Structure 1
Amino acid sequence: MEWSERGLILGLKKHGETSVILELMTRAHGRHLGVVRGGRSKSMQPVLQPGNEVAAVWRARLEEHLGLYAVEAAALRTDLLLSSPQGLHGVNWLGGLLRLLPERDPHPGLYDRAQVLFEHLTTPLAPALFVHFELALLAELGFGLDLEQCAATGRRDDLIYVSPKSGRAVSREAGAPWAARLLPLPAFVLETPGAAVEREKVREGFRLTEYFLVRDVFAPRGLTAPDSRAAFIARF
């Protein structure tokens, strides 16, 4: 068995005296682990850092085996990310989110979003991109929100709330009597990502995604939201 493609480094751990087990997020093969022989050498350490991108070749005798990676640097971001607390927390948080996915289960859309996030972790675009990423992750895990039209009236404009029970959007008029019980729906969530967003609106977006992540993903698995998430939000 053999395949080759680019991968985003999520993490690694020691394996034996000189090797590491490398965890990559790839477009066609999902979150995929493999052994890098000599991965703890001085020449490989700058390459095998979370946040970097590598060109990887994976080989194994059988598909279900852990297998071996041969990797070359494709995009090194370590110095930039480590010089920024926001970047460092963002790398850890993104890795934690992607580990919610089953191993070797392809999610090309999430890979593309993760690629964009890694490129913008130290920029003002990162917080809003993270909100969009968490919404996409919820959808990939089967808990997507329905934000296209009002749950009560069917109208597609003036959507400013989300029902915490159903995860569906609610319009201003329909939600007014129950506004205190509904979650705010910031307008940028309904727009194509790519622009900086007002800080308080981003915080509303984070509160929205956190509610459904905790209820539908973390709590059923006996988990809590990662500390890196709170640290990133506090930084921005």
Structure 2
Amino acid sequence: MEWSDEAIVLGVRRHGESGVLLELLTRDHGRHFGFLPGGRSRKTLPLIQPGNSLAVTWRARLDQHLGTLSVEATRLRAPGFINAPHALYGFAALAASLRFLPERDPHPALFDAVIHLSEALPDAESVGPLFVEFELRLLAELGFGLDFDSCAATGTQENLVYVSPRTGRAVSAQAGEPYREKLLTLPGFLVYEGPANRVSPQALAEAFALTGYFLQRWIYEPQDRAPPPERARFVESLTREEDPA
């Protein structure tokens, strides 16, 4: 068995005397593991850090085997994360979320979104909305897509400001007013503007609270898992209001 693919590194673990176990997200072969001989060498280790893109070839006698990798670095993003702590938290949260994908199950559209998001991570002013969009896409890929197209109660597409915590569907201001204390806030940039380069810290915090609620309810809790702590640190770093001085 042999295949070649584009990949981004999600994780690296020691394996054997000098090798590493690479956890990758590949375009056409999904989340995949493989053994890289000599991966802890001074030459190779900097190239396979989380966030970097690789051209990989995987070989094994049988498809169900771990397999051996050969790699060539194509984009080194990890050095750019070092001077941006929020980017380190963000990629760690991204990788933790991707581990809910079944192994070897391809998600090419999600792969493209991960590459785009990883490129934007160092830019604290623009990455927040993109990360929210990634979490919405991940929920959809896992079968839990949210619906912000029209009001669940009336069908209107106007003035959508809430989300039902039960169904994940949008609710208009008028229909939701009697139940506003039980509904989640739907930030306008997710409905009417699409991903924006800059949104207010409050709107961004509301968006992360929205995706966080459904990740918790539909992904973390059923698998008896806690949210990755890096996500909370990432969100706090992006939504913290600057003190006026």
TM range (shorter): over 0.9
CA RMSD of aligned residues (A): 1.0
Q: Could you tell me how far 1:58 is from its partner in structure 2? A: 0.8
Paired position in structure 2 for 1:175: 176
Q: Could you tell me how far 1:193 is from its partner in structure 2? A: 2.3
Taking the TM superposition and a 5 Å limit, the aligned residue runs for 1:5-154 are 5-123=5-123, 124-154=125-155
| TM-score (structure 1 length as normaliser) | 0.97
Q: What is the total number of aligned residue pairs between the two structures?
A: 236
SS for the counterpart of 2:62 is coil
Q: Could you tell me how far 1:27 is from its partner in structure 2? A: 1.1
Partner amino acid, structure 2, of 1:66: L
Q: Could you tell me how far apart the structure 2 residues matched to 1:60 and 1:197 are?
A: 47
Q: Could you tell me how far apart the structure 1 residues matched to 2:175 and 2:76 are?
A: 50
Q: Is the 8 A contact 2:34 2:58 kept in 1?
A: yes
Q: Could you tell me how far 1:196 is from its partner in structure 2? A: 2.0
Q: Deviations over 1:115-137 (max 9, x none)?
A: 01110001121111111111111
Q: Could you tell me how far 1:15 is from its partner in structure 2? A: 0.6
Q: Could you tell me how far 1:3 is from its partner in structure 2? A: 1.1
Does 1:230 pair with 2:220? no
Q: Deviations over 1:77-113 (max 9, x none)?
A: 1211012101110111110010010100011111111
Partner amino acid, structure 2, of 1:145: L
Which of residues 193, 204, 207 in structure 1 aligns to 2:206? 204
Q: Could you tell me how far apart the structure 1 residues matched to 2:81 and 2:28 are?
A: 26
Partner amino acid, structure 1, of 2:13: K
Q: Could you tell me how far apart the structure 2 residues matched to 1:30 and 1:199 are?
A: 34
Q: Could you tell me how far apart the structure 1 residues matched to 2:237 and 2:148 are?
A: 28
SS for the counterpart of 1:113 is helix
In structure 1, stretches of 5+ residues that fail to align are none
Q: Could you tell me how far apart the structure 1 residues matched to 2:78 and 2:168 are?
A: 37
Q: Is the 8 A contact 2:55 2:74 kept in 1?
A: yes
Q: Deviations over 1:118-166 (max 9, x none)?
A: 1000112111111111111111111111211101100112111001111
Partner amino acid, structure 1, of 2:77: R
SS for the counterpart of 1:179 is helix
Which of residues 219, 222, 225 in structure 1 aligns to 2:221? 219
SS for the counterpart of 1:46 is helix
Q: Could you tell me how far apart the structure 2 residues matched to 1:57 and 1:22 are?
A: 12
Q: Deviations over 1:55-92 (max 9, x none)?
A: 11111111111111100110001211012101110111
Identity %: 50
Paired position in structure 1 for 2:187: 186
Q: Could you tell me how far 1:197 is from its partner in structure 2? A: 1.7
Partner amino acid, structure 2, of 1:170: V
Q: Could you tell me how far 1:194 is from its partner in structure 2? A: 4.8
SS for the counterpart of 2:95 is helix
Greater mean alpha carbon deviation, residues 143-152 or residues 96-105: 143-152
Q: Could you tell me how far apart the structure 2 residues matched to 1:41 and 1:130 are?
A: 33
Q: Could you tell me how far apart the structure 1 residues matched to 2:168 and 2:214 are?
A: 8
Partner amino acid, structure 1, of 2:168: G
SS for the counterpart of 1:137 is helix
